[in-house]
Amino acid sequence: MLIEKATEFIHIMYRELGYDEITIKQRLDDIQDQINQTGTYRHTSEELTYGARMAWRNSNRCIGRLFWETLIVQDARDVKDNDGFIDAIHKHLAEATNHGKIQSYITIFAPEDDNPPIIYNNQLIRYAGYENAGDPAERTITQLAQHMGWEGKGTDFDVLPLIYQLPGEQHPRMHELPESLVFEVPIEHRSYPKLKDLGLKWYAVPIISNMDLKIGGITYPTIPFNGWYMVNEIAVRNFTDTYRYNLLEKVAEEFEFDTLKNTSFNKDRVMVELNDAVYHSFKKAGASIVDHLTAAKQFEHFERNEAQANREVTGKWSWLVPSLSPTLVSNYHHGYKNVMKEPNFFYKKKAESTGCPFH
């Protein structure tokens, strides 16, 4: 099984990169030897990097895949102790944030059969969720942090501590991220100044930390990775979903819309203006962000590139269609085959997973 998966991956990668069949044969012999001796094999750094990029390219839910070849990979496979772990996380935060010009970035710790450290958080940066404040999607991890002795301020935007476990240790540890490494954007609207009074903000870099990466039969369970935000992820989903910040009515009040009756179309108007606010607040703060229409155009570009390379683009329609004005973009008007190619990112099995899906 492992050798089959490895062979498939090596064939695809090495052929895409133009390696000859002799080189491929040599590498596969080497991998077979390693498997015979140790039961597994170790990716070269080139395989690790290209495998992670392929995993992004194969991510059916992601509209941002045009940039798959620009992913930066931090190889942290040999990091086992606390200082090394924290250094790798801090380095990821600093280099991915890049003073606002966000860089797509992944840090890859040891594979599952080589004692990896484990991260409990859903994203490296996330706001705590309390009974009456904060992000309801993070209540589980917030309770875990509190159970471990953490006390949040109780605001809507308390950055959660990192909760992680090192190989060989019995208990998880906790670490507060230095403020200087957490880029946050205060939200305001260019023509509705009262919006500022709500004190909304959001962090600039969404670093998913609850998925597995599978490359050539090897599973990497600790692989924080990020791109940059598409505006509607924050404005439409995080701020407006009723089971998230549920802000529609509060924002409508600040905008001084007198009614939210369905037929006034003010609910829709709030949504559009909130996207405008988030987008331009990010720009003003110097943080990368993309609007939904541009992102969809970039995805069309990706589809053309893939067609040219003779690869089929798989996708999950319900995720690729943006959550604001979906019919304005081409994705809406055709279907995608939702088949999982590998390498890819996978949700963890329920039992190990610590929280809610992040979308």
Segment interacting with ligand ARG, rule: CB under 6 A, options 28-36, 138-146, 223-231, 276-284: 223-231
For residue 344, the cross-strand partners are 214
Contact residue for ligand ARG among 117, 152, 161, 206 (CB under 6 A): 206
Q: Which is nearer to ligand ARG, 133 or 208 (CB)?
A: 208
d(CA 306, CA 312): 7
Q: In 3D, which of 183, 219, 226 has the Cα closest to residue 202?
A: 183
Binding of residue 188 to ligand ARG (CB under 6 A)? no
Binding of residue 105 to ligand ARG (CB under 6 A)? no
In the shown chain, the binding pattern of residues 236 to 275 toward ligand ARG, with x for contact by CB under 6 A and - for none, equals --x-------------------------------------
Please report, as a single letter, which amino acid is at residue 196: K
Contact residue for ligand ARG among 106, 163, 204, 230 (CB under 6 A): 230
Place of tokens 């819309």: 257
Contact residue for ligand ARG among 135, 158, 212, 233 (CB under 6 A): 233
Binding of residue 359 to ligand ARG (CB under 6 A)? yes
Q: How far is the CB of 229 from ligand ARG (least distance, A)?
A: 5
Q: How many CB atoms lie within 10 A of CB 299?
A: 22
Of 233, 273, 303, 342, catalytic = 233
d(CA 351, CA 359): 19
The question of whether 356 is a catalytic residue gets the answer no
The question of whether 228 is a catalytic residue gets the answer yes
Contact residue for ligand ARG among 56, 127, 229, 299 (CB under 6 A): 229
| CA dist 263 → 228, 316, 327 (Å) | 35, 32, 20
d(CA 81, CA 60): 34
| CA dist 138 → 117, 159, 287 (Å) | 21, 11, 24
Binding of residue 135 to ligand ARG (CB under 6 A)? no
Q: How many CB atoms lie within 10 A of CB 127?
A: 24
Of 47, 188, 228, 273, catalytic = 228
Q: How far is the CB of 261 from ligand ARG (least distance, A)?
A: 29
Query: Tokens representing 227?
Result: 């791109």
| CA dist 101 → 152, 164, 184, 290 (Å) | 29, 28, 13, 12
Give the footprint of ligand ARG on this chain (CB under 6 A). Answer: 206, 208, 227, 229-230, 233, 238, 358-359
Instruction: Catalogue the active-site residues.
Output: 62, 65, 228, 233
